[in-house]
Chains A and B, each alone.
Chain A
Amino acid sequence: GEDVEQSLFLSVREGDSSVINCTYTDSSSTYLYWYKQEPGAGLQLLTYIFSNMDMKQDQRLTVLLNKKDKHLSLRIADTQTGDSAIYFCAEKNNQGGKLIFGQGTELSVKP
């Protein structure tokens, strides 16, 4: 079945780059998404990438997709304390728009 895996924790220093990794199993995935969740809040869509793309850049965010290895990453440049949150990757299931979520990576940014 479909599965999405992420490491649970990442700690970086303010000003450094953060790289959050994700692997997925469904080779027919069409879109892949990154969401951010701050404490006690819902999920905020950060960015997405279509499966025929290798890279997408949006200000401080860079998404890299290696479709052969089914590996997705989110790079946050110049990480700030306000970036501390849980980050979820998700793949779109071809059956009616369902998303399959990873467990989430908790990013901790130290000053």
Chain B
Amino acid sequence: DGGITQSPKYLFRKEGQNVTLSCEQNLNHDAMYWYRQDPGQGLRLIYYSQIVNDFQKGDIAEGYSVSREKKESFPLTVTSAQKNPTAFYLCASSPNRDRGVVWNQPQHFGDGTRLSIL
């Protein structure tokens, strides 16, 4: 079955450590997204990628980094510069980017990774 897989489900970070969250999709979607969710604040966009080898900062990119070397994969690294990393992280993907035509592009989500500080 096609879908989005995030791993691990739970992750713990020590002070000064970088950690990487995995996101893999087999939906053949061009675009992928990373969101951070905090209680009562909804979803905030960290980074997004419309195509392989290209990505853009979202609203809260500081302290995070991403790569998009393959269409299927969009890993997120939470660096030691992110001072408040405890949150629920959600990865999403959506089909074809705009090509001069307005497409319905619903985003499909993984089950999330909960990151906590040790």
Contacts and interface: CB of A to CB of B under 8 A. Distances in A.
Contacts of A99: 107
A101 B112 contact: no
Contacts of B31: 96-97
Nearest to B6: A42
B102 interface: yes
B107 A96 contact: no
B-side interface size class: 20 to 34
A24 interface: no
A98 B45 contact: yes
Interface residues of A, number: 24
B41 interface: yes
A31 B104 contact: yes
A55 B94 CA distance: 24
B105 to A, nearest CB: 4
Interface of B: 4, 6, 31, 33, 40-43, 45, 48, 50, 90, 92, 94, 97-98, 102-112, 114
